[in-house]
Amino acid sequence: MKILYLVLILIVAIFAVMFAAQNSAQIAITFFSWSTSGSLSLVLILTFSIGIFLGVLIMAPSVFKRSFQYSGLKRRFKRLEKEKIVLNDKVNENKENCAEAAPTAEPVKNKPDKKPKE
């Protein structure tokens, strides 16, 4: 799996270098009174990186919330499993006590029915 990630990273890096080499034109960027110039590839990569950063920043609270919920549910599950074991032990103990306490009766023999004489 690590090799697959390394190959994927290498492919992305090769495409990034090819992209930068083919888009080296200088462009001017103006935002209100602020102005700068840079290569097209640098501006696009920087813009893409800022977008990824903002996306991660926006998703982070939700991811952390789910992580905390998961850990809480895991603790609850372990507690309920222990409680289930204790309750199963009590049920088995009660069954044994009932079996010991029940009187043993002799089986009743079936007597043939006698028909009254007519």
For the chain, the distance separating the N- and C-terminal CA atoms, rounded to the nearest angstrom, is: 96
- Which of 19-28, 34-43, 76-85, 89-98 has the highest average model confidence (pLDDT)? 76-85
Domain annotation covers residue 102: no
Domain annotation covers residue 99: no
Domain annotation covers residue 49: yes
Mean pLDDT of 29-37: 89
Domain annotation covers residue 66: yes
Domain annotation covers residue 101: no
Q: Which residue has the higher pLDDT, 110 or 3?
A: 3
Paired sense of beta strands 34-39 and 26-31, if any: antiparallel
User: Which token pair is 102?
Assistant: 């029940």
Is residue 112 very low, low, confident or very high in pLDDT (cuts 50, 70, 90)? low
User: How far is the C-alpha of 12 from the C-alpha of 19, rounded, in Å?
Assistant: 10
Per the structure, the count of domains in the chain is: 1
pLDDT at 62 over 90: yes
Q: Which domain holds residue 17?
A: 9-75
Q: Which residue has the higher pLDDT, 41 or 6?
A: 6
